[in-house]
């Protein structure tokens, strides 16, 4: 599945099986994995990649929910690991109320409650734990 935004590909998601449900109240697509996701920047280059065991696309909210063994890798070598992650197409942010670990070239940090940009260049963790190097 490829989602377009302003006449360009914004997200590509691939899985082994997908099924869509539509009722008056909601429309969603369930994708079984392994699930592979690519987010593209404004030039069309891959900005962020993600893997999980399953995903759900909530059409009305324009959100992807990734479940089970979620791994995110950015083009700046930043990684995020969690059991659950939400990517909002409207805000272009990823969030998780659950435990996350972020690994960068210079540090790693873990905690509960995450909100950040899709390229992991800016983020907050509500209850952080970890080690980092300060110059």
Domains and CATH numbers, the chain: 2-131 (2.60.450.10)
What gap in Å lies between CA 96 and CA 98, rounded to an integer?
5
C-alpha distances in Å from residue 134, one per residue of 39, 106, 131: 30, 9, 10
> Measured in Å, how far apart are the chain's first and last C-alpha atoms?
43
C-alpha distances in Å from residue 87, one per residue of 14, 16, 18, 67, 98: 15, 20, 18, 12, 14
Copy the structure tokens of residue 83.
Answer: 């059991």
Predicted TM-score (pTM) of this structure: 0.85
| pLDDT tens-digit map of 36-67 | 999 888 888 899 999 999 999 998 888 999 99
Using 50, 70 and 90 to split pLDDT, how confident is the model at 135?
low
């Amino acid at each position: 599945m490829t989602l377009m935004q302003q006449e360009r590909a914004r997200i590509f998601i691939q899985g082994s099986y997908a099924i869509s449900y539509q009722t008056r109240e909601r429309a969603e697509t369930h994708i079984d994995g392994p699930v592979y996701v690519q987010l593209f920047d404004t030039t069309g280059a891959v900005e962020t990649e993600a893997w999980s065991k399953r995903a759900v696309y909530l059409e009305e909210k324009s959100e992807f929910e990734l479940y089970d063994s979620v791994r995110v890798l950015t083009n700046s070598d930043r990684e995020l690991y969690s059991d659950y992650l939400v990517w909002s197409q409207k805000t272009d942010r990823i969030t998780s109320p659950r435990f996350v670990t972020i690994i960068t070239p210079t540090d790693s940090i873990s905690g509960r409650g995450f909100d950040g940009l899709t390229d992991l260049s800016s983020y907050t963790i509500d209850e952080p734990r970890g080690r980092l190097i300060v110059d």
